[in-house]
Amino acid sequence: MRILSVDFDYFVNPTPLQRANYFPDGGREMNDTLNSFVWAGSYAFSKSATKKFGDEMSSLMDVELLKKPLQMIHNIIMTQKDICGMVADSHMHAYDFIRENHDGSATELYNVDFHHDTFDVGKEVHCGNWLRRLLDEGAVDEAYWLNRPESELDGNLTTVIQLSELPKTGYDLVYVCRSGWWTPPHMDGDFIKYLARPLIENKNGWEVRYQTGILESRYNRELKALIKQESAIRDQLSAVPCPKEH
């Protein structure tokens, strides 16, 4: 059995400064409401930082998307013959999806992802250890990781490969996730366009499960209102003069 797992965070290409200043700290995923507040704060900070420092502080809105690799992965997925698929926000659901659809044969998994997801952290399955669990339990025999040059390698149990080494055909299962804690909401449109919608609305008769709301961008009216509110608070704080020493 051959499995393709694709995390949209692989294609998000911030500069080191953008990642350090605007992206949420690493760790566990949390609820959608908190996700919106965290990203709203990041957009507001980005707006004030670029206003103050100019080109020295590239905007969060200017984060690069790796469109050529994204198009290549889209093409690979859409040229498969007969697959079972799933589209969700978190990578953690790949564990149950693979477990439920595993046919008991020798299995190789190809993970296109910024993270290796074989961390030995926590007792429950989550986005950082789902692949380790599958390896430890023998559901996956070999795992290959298409990573990024800046990806963390500590704790990696996979074999790192290049994009040119990724098989083009022969997949039985395809799992795609957005990873909303590691991908800015304004890039959701590209996730939907290249990965989510083509798989969900395929014309090939594939059985594809998907998370409710996954075809809706988080960069919506509600988030923009939160960003505006956060920006106003930051502007007010910056206008308050510092107290004088006596």
Which band of pLDDT confidence, cut at 50, 70 and 90, is reported for residue 233?
Answer: confident
Cα-based angle 102, 74, 7 (whole degrees, multiple of 5): 60
Residue 244 pLDDT exceeds 50: no
CA distances from 143 to 103, 156, 229, 233 (A): 17, 10, 44, 47
DSSP letters for 128-183: TTHHHHHHHTTS-SEEEEE--TT---TT--SEEE-GGGS-SS--SEEEEE--TTTS
Q: pLDDT tens digit string along 202-231? A: 999 999 999 999 999 999 999 999 999 999
Q: What gap in Å lies between CA 101 and CA 103, rounded to an integer?
A: 6
> 19-33 b/e with 16+ CB inside 10 Å = b?
eebbbbeeeebeeee
Residue 175 pLDDT exceeds 50: yes
Mean pLDDT of 39-61: 84
Amino acid (1-letter code) at residue 185: P
Sign of the torsion angle spanned by Cα atoms 28, 158, 176, 140: negative
Q: pLDDT tens digit string along 123-147? A: 899 999 999 999 999 999 999 999 9
Among 134, 133, 140, 144, which residue's Cα sits nearest to residue 106?
A: 140
Total residues found in the chain within this entry:
246
Please give the pLDDT value at position 238. Answer: 64
Residue 243 pLDDT exceeds 70: no
| C-alpha torsion 108→114→120→121, nearest 10 | -140
Q: pLDDT tens digit string along 21-39? A: 999 876 556 777 889 999 9
Please give the pLDDT value at position 4. Answer: 98
Please give the pLDDT value at position 240. Answer: 44
